Amino acid sequence: MLMRHTTEKIVERKNLVVNPVKTCQPIGAMYAALGIHRCMPHSHGSQGCCAYHRSMLTRHYKEPVMATTSSFTEGASVFGGMGNLMDAIANIFSLYDPDVIAVHTTCLSETIGDDIPQIVKKAKDNGLIPRGKHVFHANTPSYVGTHITGYASMVKAMVDYFAVPSRKRSDQINLVPGFVDPPDMEELRRISSSFGVAVVMFPDTSGVLNTGLTGAFKMFPRGGTRVSELVTAGEAIATLGLGRFAAGPAARALDAKCGVPCEVLDLPLGLAATDRFVMALSRHTGVPVPEDIAEERARVVDLVADMHQYLYGKRVAVAGDPDHLFPLVEFLLDLEMDVRHIVTGMQSKKIERRMEELFREKAPDKRPNFAAPGDLFLLHQWIKNDPVDLIIGNTHTKYIARDENIPSVRVGFPILDRVGHQYFPIVGYRGAVRLLEMILNAFLERVDATVPEESFELVM
């Protein structure tokens, strides 16, 4: 057994986290910053954080992840990191020539209390920031929230620094995607664009973290939201924030700063949440839902009707980030699957309340185990006490899947051992088909591998 110390008996833990389903803020901020065109994410702390965050993102995407660091030493940790950041800014512009440097912090610089705006101002006064180039920042203390918090803060900083209030209203929708992969961002843009409006999406990592191999390495690939687009965010007709935790703060900040009406929706995962997203697009643009999109929806319904017998009543455990959990669980309940255990690493009463409402509405006779915050050790213990047929979560869930002999489907971050998430979306109706494909194939492969020979079927 891989997890030989995981016992059925659950002892309450308040201080020791074992096998977390979350990580720390700066990696989310780094990811968000990579969604700006020609931007160098910069980690203001000791260099280990930056190395870890780059490594983890690069393992997830199998793509270069460029970021710099202030490389604190003990001296800087005691007396402050101003010198380090000033040197870094000068070196980054002269060596790597980005258009933007997006600074985030770590527990180190946050604990010592470095004042980033003041340091950046000094860098500017000293002429270290070339004309037309930008340095902006978000505070991302690792001891608050999770990687989703860090992502949210960096995206909000894009609004704080760049969006300009405007009297003019253009036919433009702003999209703030949640903490999703590049193909998801592509898909969100495609769906929104089908309503015939201009779409400004920030951040946008497609074309940055899913580039092809051409023989020429580009430190700053063609993708990413332009600063000029961020400036125009203030004149859009509406902002849709997808994911309350990851996208909510930026969408609301844009409303407050520029008066762009915002709506914060769930990530469009599965049928119902995508319906809400599509309806919102239709409502804000005044454009009826395009026929192509309606056809895509119909295919999801078609597939579920075709394969319902393999989904109905199947017991599922889900682990992931809070914005993913709600629409995902909603989708699973709509498929009439039996969701038994749910954990997220984030501390959140809100999502617990929403989850309760969701079950009251869609599965009133079921009461799942739910923990926010919880960890994978707890999830595994729950599964030992109340087994499931499927685990949905990131790569770390595979240790449970192997020990308990359950199929697992990879959704979320990080996915270190499978391909697909770099190329195909899980959001929107097309994404819903892909989720169904992964779930159904996991079940069907299990049937093929385990049924007695006399029941082995050609057609399923």
Does residue 266 contact residue 276 with C-beta atoms inside 8 Å? yes
Q: How many residues at the interface with other proteins, by CB under 8 A? A: 83
Q: Which of 124, 218, 367, 418 binds other proteins (CB under 8 A)?
A: 218
Q: Which residues contact 61 (CB under 8 A, 6 or more apart)?
A: 181, 182, 209, 210, 422
Q: Kindly state whether residue 3 participates in binding other proteins, applying the rule CB under 8 A.
A: yes
Q: Kindly state whether residue 141 participates in binding other proteins, applying the rule CB under 8 A.
A: yes
Q: Which of 8, 95, 298, 301 binds other proteins (CB under 8 A)?
A: 95
Q: Which of 213, 305, 449, 458 binds other proteins (CB under 8 A)?
A: 213
**Cβ 450 to other proteins shortest distance, Å:** 25
Does residue 425 contact residue 183 with C-beta atoms inside 8 Å? yes
What is the contact mask toward other proteins in residues 375 to 404, using x (rule: CB under 8 A)?
A: --x------------------x--x-----
Q: Which of 30, 70, 195, 293 binds other proteins (CB under 8 A)?
A: 70
Q: Kindly state whether residue 17 participates in binding other proteins, applying the rule CB under 8 A.
A: yes
- Determine if residue 215 is left, alpha or beta; phi over 0 gives left, psi from -120 to 50 gives alpha, anything else beta: left
Q: Kindly state whether residue 29 participates in binding other proteins, applying the rule CB under 8 A.
A: no
CA 105 – CA 50 distance, rounded (Å) = 10
Q: Kindly state whether residue 80 participates in binding other proteins, applying the rule CB under 8 A.
A: no
Sequential DSSP letters for 352-375: HHHHHHHHHHH-TT---EEESS-B
Q: Which of 127, 132, 215, 452 binds other proteins (CB under 8 A)?
A: 215
**Cβ 76 to other proteins shortest distance, Å:** 7
Q: Per CB under 8 A, which of residues 148..177 are in contact with other proteins?
A: none
Grouping H, G, I as helix, E, B as strand and the rest as coil, residue 269 is strand
Looking at 9-17, 319-327, 432-440, 442-450, which segment touches other proteins (CB under 8 A)?
9-17
Q: Kindly state whether residue 349 participates in binding other proteins, applying the rule CB under 8 A.
A: no
Q: Which of 35, 41, 45, 327 binds other proteins (CB under 8 A)?
A: 45
Looking at 64-72, 295-303, 310-318, 353-361, which segment touches other proteins (CB under 8 A)?
64-72
Q: Kindly state whether residue 63 participates in binding other proteins, applying the rule CB under 8 A.
A: yes
Amino acid at 188: L
Looking at residue 62, what DSSP letter applies?
A: S
What b/e readout covers 98-109, taking b as 16+ CB neighbours within 10 angstroms? bbbbbbbbbbbb
Q: Which residues contact 183 (CB under 8 A, 6 or more apart)?
A: 206, 210, 421, 422, 423, 424, 425
Q: Which of 131, 216, 313, 364 binds other proteins (CB under 8 A)?
A: 216
**Cβ 358 to other proteins shortest distance, Å:** 27
**Cβ 204 to other proteins shortest distance, Å:** 20
Residue 76 tokens read as 């800087």
Residue 433 tokens read as 């088909």
Q: Kindly state whether residue 422 participates in binding other proteins, applying the rule CB under 8 A.
A: no
CA 155 – CA 243 distance, rounded (Å) = 12
Residue 341 tokens read as 């255990």
Residue (219 or 451) nearer to other proteins, CB? 219
Q: Kindly state whether residue 123 participates in binding other proteins, applying the rule CB under 8 A.
A: no
Strand order in the sheet with 100-105: 68-69, 39-44, 100-105, 134-138
Three-class DSSP labels, 229-242: HHHHHHHCCEEEEE
